[in-house]
Amino acid sequence: MIGFGHGHLRRVTLLASLCSLALGASSCSEAAEAMGPEVRTTRQAQLGDLPGVGDLAEQCGLDINCEAGGIAEGNASISGVASVDAFFGAVINFQNTALSVAGGIDAELEAIRADFGIEAGTELSAGIMAQASAHLEGGLTIEVEEPRCEVDASATLDAQAKCEAMVDPGSVMVACEGGCEVEASAEVSCDAEADLNCTLKAPSVACSGECKGSCTLEGSAAADCSGTCKGGCNGNCSLMNASGECEGKCEGTCTGSCEMELEVAASCEGSCSGECTVQNPEGGCEGGIRAECKAKAGGMVMCDGRCDGEVTPPSASAECDASVKAEASLNVECKPPSIRIDYELAVGGNVDVEAQAKFVAALENLKVRLPKLKAALAKADLVAKAGAGLAASADGAVKGAINTSLEGDVSLQAKFGLGCALMELGAVEGAISTASGRLSASVDASVELTSGLGL
């Protein structure tokens, strides 16, 4: 039996229901009129026990017992009110996304375990570092960029339009606390609250910003070379060419050119072969492959493209604001970042060459799996925050919206639908808690690996 209680519904009197049937009410409108505007019972389901009421409810399309189901059945169309049902849709999306992200994290961890042949019960990081000690000289160095997570502004606006029909997705923008993708052209510009970041790609360009690819330094800039020294080396060189010039690591001063491979974007004071990102270049971003307006500290930038930070949709009702922000975080795309793994193989008669080869193959796989894991963890953080926001709004904005609607002049069908929605709010906390717990367990399992590898 389903109870509404707490004065949230205008109560339908059982006596009025009996009278309306006894008087031969033959239509939904007559039955609704006979029930009157004031609701008098706290037990909606009791109506279904009265002779003839179930048939009349079916004729009227009334789900008086909330038999259509709710979150557990994957049904968000509970109340028939767009702003309320959008919330339940966001809760269901949260459940599915949290479980999907958790499954992705678990799959990467298991794949890494299999690549390195680490037995169950052994910590991944400990197993990897033990193998590194056996097969490498000088240990293992891993650098990974932070993943870039982007929200599609148009998708966010579409979600708001479904929640509030007053919004036209094509005529508004969201506020982006981060970087907003813009067209790379000579005419592109950003407002005063943002900087223009332009990324260029060419065989070799002078780069005053960050380079991702190969950075070549000349003259005094090449002296302290951490990459490959080509030319003269005042010191020991690990590899000499046929002309007697250095083409390897120089343990001393490099007097030729220095070539560094930058798999992770870094400053380059020479020429960059690859991608070079510069800030606020003269002449816009002519010849660029991509551009973004990056909000300055504490600022926001208006965006109708993709945003790599938190988005704030146009002014919305409190219940829609909660679901739209959640949908934005749940539909975010986090791209695997660049990674650099440096190591030097051990040599000598005591080296197990076959085992060492398997370890190197596992490291090559790690270059793919670790970035995917980092991207999944970045999304997990956003998904977890979305769940917390939905849970907080259930007893606040959403419940208030339902009560306000019930106090208004709504149809009998809407009364019952909103009543079902009011009851379904009780299932929100449990649904979010279960999915959040599953996600948290997967994140915790991955922390052991990432922290153990110094990431």
User: pLDDT by residue (tens digit) across 180-232?
Assistant: 888 888 888 888 888 999 998 866 667 777 888 888 888 888 888 988 999 99
Q: What are phi and psi of 199, to 5 degrees?
A: -110, 125
User: What value, to the nearest 5°, has the Cα angle with vertex 43 and ends 38 and 48?
Assistant: 100
- At 223, the amino acid letter reads A
C-beta of residue 365 within 8 angstroms of C-beta of residue 115: yes
What is the pLDDT confidence band of residue 302, given thresholds at 50, 70 and 90? confident
Residues 6+ apart with CB under 8 A from 429: 391, 394
Between 48 and 273, the higher pLDDT residue: 273
Which tokens is 421 given?
Answer: 């929605």
- The answer to whether residue 162 scores a pLDDT higher than 90 is no
Q: What is the mean pLDDT of the chain?
A: 82
pLDDT of residue 41: 32
Of the ranges 261-270, 324-333, 369-378, the best mean pLDDT one = 369-378
pLDDT of residue 108: 96
Per residue, the 3-state secondary structure of 242-273, as one string, reads CCCCEEECEEEEECCEEEEEEEEEEECCCEEE
As a whole number, mean pLDDT of residues 399-417 equals 80
- At 121, the amino acid letter reads G
pLDDT of residue 93: 95
Q: Alpha helix (H) ranges present in 36-178? A: 53-60, 82-116, 124-135, 153-163
pLDDT of residue 272: 87
pLDDT of residue 114: 96
Q: Which of 169-173, 201-205, 235-239, 310-314 has the weakest average pLDDT? A: 169-173
As a whole number, mean pLDDT of residues 256-270 equals 85
Of 181, 138, 116, nearest to 311 (Cα)? 181
- The answer to whether residue 396 scores a pLDDT higher than 50 is yes
Q: Which of 45-54, 246-255, 320-329 has the weakest average pLDDT? A: 45-54
- The answer to whether residue 294 scores a pLDDT higher than 50 is yes
pLDDT of residue 205: 67
What is the pLDDT confidence band of residue 59, given thresholds at 50, 70 and 90? low
What does the alpha-carbon distance between residue 212 and residue 200 come to, in Å, rounded to a whole number? Answer: 10
DSSP letters spanning 293-344:
EEEPTT--EEESSEESSEEEPSS--HHHHHHHHHHHHHT-EEEPPPEEEEEE
User: What value, to the nearest 5°, has the Cα angle with vertex 23 and ends 21 and 29?
Assistant: 65
- The answer to whether residue 133 scores a pLDDT higher than 50 is yes
Between 13 and 91, the higher pLDDT residue: 91
C-beta of residue 327 within 8 angstroms of C-beta of residue 93: yes
